[in-house]
Chains A and B, each alone.
Chain A
Amino acid sequence: METHPAALPFLLLFRNSGPETHQHLSPEQRQQLMVRWNAWYDRLAAAGKAVEGQPLELERRVVSGPRGERVTDGPFAETKEAIGGYVKLMVSGIEEATEIAQQHPGLPYGLSIEIREMAFSCHLGVTAGHGAPAERATSP
C-alpha cells in the first residue's frame, strides 16, 4: 500500500441514515443539514475523491439457508444497523478515508459510517479501481 502512487477505492457505508433521525429537525435545520451535506460531497467530488454515492431503499429481504430456503422480509428489529447507503471514494488509504468520514455532517444526527477498502479485484476479474466496475459486474 505504501508503494501505491494511485488512489485506492474505499466504500463509506452509512448506518442509521434516516429517516427517523431527521424527523424532529425543523425545516431550517433540515436545510442547513442538506447544505452542509452538499458542501461535503461537492468538495470531495471536485477533488475527484468521491466517485459515486447512492442511498438504498429501506425495504429489504434476506436469503439464507443451505439452499437459500430461508427468505426473510423486513422489518428487522435493528433498523439502525441496516446499511442506508454508500459513497465510493478514491483516496490514498484508510487514513484519508477516515479523515473524510470524520467530517461528515450527518454524524451529530446519529449517523455511523463504516469504512471498507474495496478488494483490488473480484473473482470475475473486474478491477475495482478506476473505471466503472459496478456496471460490468452485473453482466453475465
Chain B
Amino acid sequence: MAADNVSPPPPDTPAAPASQPTQLVEHFFRHETGRLHGALVRLLGVHNLSLAEDIAQEAMLRALRTWSMGGVPPNPSAWITRVAMNLAKDMLRHQRMSGTKQPALITHFEQILPQSPAASINEWEIRDDALRLMFVCCHPAIAPDAQVVLALKVMGGFSTGEIARAFLTSEAAIEKQLTRTKQRIKEAGIGFDLPEGEDLAVRVDGVLAALYLLFNEGYKASAGDRLLREELCAEAIRLASLLVEHPVGRTPRGNALLALMLFTAARFPSRVDEQGDLLRLDDQDRSKWNRTMIDRGLVHLFQAAQGTEVSEYHLQAGIAACHCLARDHASTDWARILRHYDELYRLKPSPIVALNRAVAVAYLQGPEAGLRAVDEIPQRDRLDSHYLLHAVVGELRWRAKDHRGAAESFRRALQLAKVGPEQLYITRMLERAVVQGNDVG
C-alpha cells in the first residue's frame, strides 16, 4: 500500500492540480478502512470497535464526496486519517459525559493529532496498530469462523455484503454474527495489546490458524463469486505479510504459512480453463503461474528454514514448492513430496493427508501402488462420504486401465460433490472413463 504515509500534507492542502492526477492504489478504500480502524481503536479502545467503524465509514464518505469534485489529494491516506481523527474528537466532545475517561481521551487526541506534518502518526505506529488489531480479531476467546469474518470486516475493509457473497450466506446472518462477536470482545475484556512472553507464541499461533482458515475459505473451489474468493486469499496473504514483517510476529512457522499461501495463489491463473472449469495440475498451463509470487514464496520458505522447527505449514509449503519448481508435471519431485507427506502424516495423522500421500505414491510407484496406499489409509471409512476419495480412486483405476471401476468411482464421487466446478470436473472424468470402458469392451 501507500508507502508515503510518513509525511502528510499540511492541513489545508488543496486537491491535486488537474495536471498531476493522483491515482488511487489498488484496493485503496478497502485497505484504508483497515488502517483507520487500527488508529481509531488505539484511541477509542477495543470496546468502542463499532464506534471506530462508524467514524472510519464517515471519513470514507467525506473523502468520496470531496474527491469526486476536486480530484484525489496527493496523499489520500493522510487526508482521510486527518478527517477521521477530527471526527473522533468532535464525537467525543459532543458526548462529553460525566465520566473521567473522555476528557483524558481528548487530551490524548490533541497530543496525537497531526498539528504539523512531523507530529503525524508514523509508519511504525500504523504497523503496530495493524498487528494489535489482528491479535484482537484472532483472540482465542472468539470462535475460529467468527475470527475470520471479523478480520475480513475490520482489517480487510470488506463490506458485510461482500463477506456474505463470499461465504454464500445472507448479509443479515453476517451482521448478526459480527454483533455477537463484538459483544464477546466486550465481555472478554480483550485489550489492544501486543502479547508478550509466554503468551506471545500461543497468540501468534492463533493468528496463523485464523489466516490459514481465511486462505482456505478463499481457495475452496466452491460455487459463487470466484474473483471475490480469490480476494480472500489475497487478504490472507496481506495479513500474513503484515504479521511476519513485524518483529513481534516474525516466526519460522509464520513464514512457512506465508510461503504456502504464495505458492498456492501463484497457481490461481491456471486453475480453471476458459469455461471456468477446474483443471488438474498436469493439465495446467504452467507458463500462467505467477513467477513473482513463487519467488516471494521461496524467500519466505528460506526464512522459515531458519530455526529447528518443522511445522505442518513447513511441510505443506515444501510440497507446494515442489510443484511450483517443477518444469513440467513429469519432472515433479514426487520422492520429495512423498517424504513431506510421510512427515506431515506423523505430525497430523488425518485421512485427507493420507489420501494425498497415496496420490504421491501412485506417481512414484504406479497406480496399483497408489490404490494399495488408499486401501491402507487408517480410518478410511471417515472419507467414504467425501467425494475426493472416490475421485482419487477413480483416477487411479483409470490409470490402471480399469475403466469400468473408474466409472463406478466417479459416479459415486459425483453423488457426493456439492459444488459446481467439482461436479463438472468429475462429470468430465466420468464421461472419459465410460467411453474408454465401452471401447475396451
Q: Which residues of A contact B (CB under 8 A)?
A: 14, 17-19, 22-23, 26-28, 30-31, 33-35, 37-38, 41-42, 45-46, 50, 53-55, 84-87, 106
CB proximity of A126 to chain B, nearest CB, Å: 22
Q: Which residues of B contact A (CB under 8 A)?
A: 18-19, 21-24, 26-30, 33, 58, 60-62, 64-72, 157-159, 161-162
CB proximity of B25 to chain A, nearest CB, Å: 9
Taken together as a complex, chains A and B put the C-alpha atoms of A86 and B27 apart, in Å, by 27
Taken together as a complex, chains A and B put the C-alpha atoms of A114 and B33 apart, in Å, by 33
Given A34-B28, A55-B66, 8 additional A-B pairs, CB 8 A: A19-B62, A27-B27, A27-B60, A27-B158, A27-B162, A28-B30, A38-B72, A84-B65
Taken together as a complex, chains A and B put the C-alpha atoms of A17 and B68 apart, in Å, by 9
Query: Are A27 and B159 in contact (CB-based, < 8 A)?
Result: yes
Query: Are A27 and B68 in contact (CB-based, < 8 A)?
Result: no
Q: Which residues of A contact B27 (CB under 8 A)?
A: 27-28, 31
Q: Which residues of A contact B62 (CB under 8 A)?
A: 19
Query: Are A85 and B69 in contact (CB-based, < 8 A)?
Result: yes
Taken together as a complex, chains A and B put the C-alpha atoms of A18 and B64 apart, in Å, by 8
Taken together as a complex, chains A and B put the C-alpha atoms of A41 and B15 apart, in Å, by 13
CB proximity of B322 to chain A, nearest CB, Å: 35
Query: Are A55 and B159 in contact (CB-based, < 8 A)?
Result: no
A–B Cβ pairs within 8 angstroms, 29 of them: A18-B68, A19-B64, A22-B61, A22-B64, A26-B158, A26-B161, A26-B162, A27-B27, A27-B33, A27-B157, A27-B158, A28-B29, A31-B24, A33-B64, A34-B24, A34-B28, A34-B64, A34-B68, A34-B72, A35-B24, A38-B21, A38-B23, A41-B71, A45-B18, A50-B18, A55-B70, A85-B70, A87-B69, A106-B68
CB proximity of B292 to chain A, nearest CB, Å: 22
CB proximity of A99 to chain B, nearest CB, Å: 19
Query: Are A27 and B29 in contact (CB-based, < 8 A)?
Result: yes
Q: Which residues of A contact B157 (CB under 8 A)?
A: 27
Q: Which residues of A contact B159 (CB under 8 A)?
A: 26-27
CB proximity of B15 to chain A, nearest CB, Å: 8
Taken together as a complex, chains A and B put the C-alpha atoms of A37 and B28 apart, in Å, by 15
Taken together as a complex, chains A and B put the C-alpha atoms of A46 and B19 apart, in Å, by 7
Closest 7 CB pairs of A and B: A45-B18, A19-B61, A85-B69, A18-B65, A27-B30, A27-B29, A55-B69
Query: Are A14 and B69 in contact (CB-based, < 8 A)?
Result: yes
CB proximity of B72 to chain A, nearest CB, Å: 6
Q: Which residues of A contact B22 (CB under 8 A)?
A: 38
Chain B's closest residue to A18 (CB) is B65
Given A27-B29, A30-B60; A86-B69 close (CB under 8 Å)? yes
Taken together as a complex, chains A and B put the C-alpha atoms of A53 and B70 apart, in Å, by 5
Q: Which residues of A contact B68 (CB under 8 A)?
A: 17-18, 33-34, 37, 55, 85, 106
Q: Which residues of B contact A18 (CB under 8 A)?
A: 61, 64-65, 68
Which residue in B18, B26, B29 is a CB contact (below 8 Å) of A41?
B18
Query: Are B69 and A84 in contact (CB-based, < 8 A)?
Result: yes
CB proximity of B159 to chain A, nearest CB, Å: 4
Taken together as a complex, chains A and B put the C-alpha atoms of A30 and B62 apart, in Å, by 12
Taken together as a complex, chains A and B put the C-alpha atoms of A38 and B24 apart, in Å, by 9
- Which of B27, B58, B65 counts the most chain A CB atoms within 10 A? B65
Q: Which residues of B contact A28 (CB under 8 A)?
A: 27, 29-30, 162
Chain B's closest residue to A31 (CB) is B29
Query: Are A31 and B28 in contact (CB-based, < 8 A)?
Result: yes
CB proximity of B87 to chain A, nearest CB, Å: 12
Taken together as a complex, chains A and B put the C-alpha atoms of A54 and B64 apart, in Å, by 13
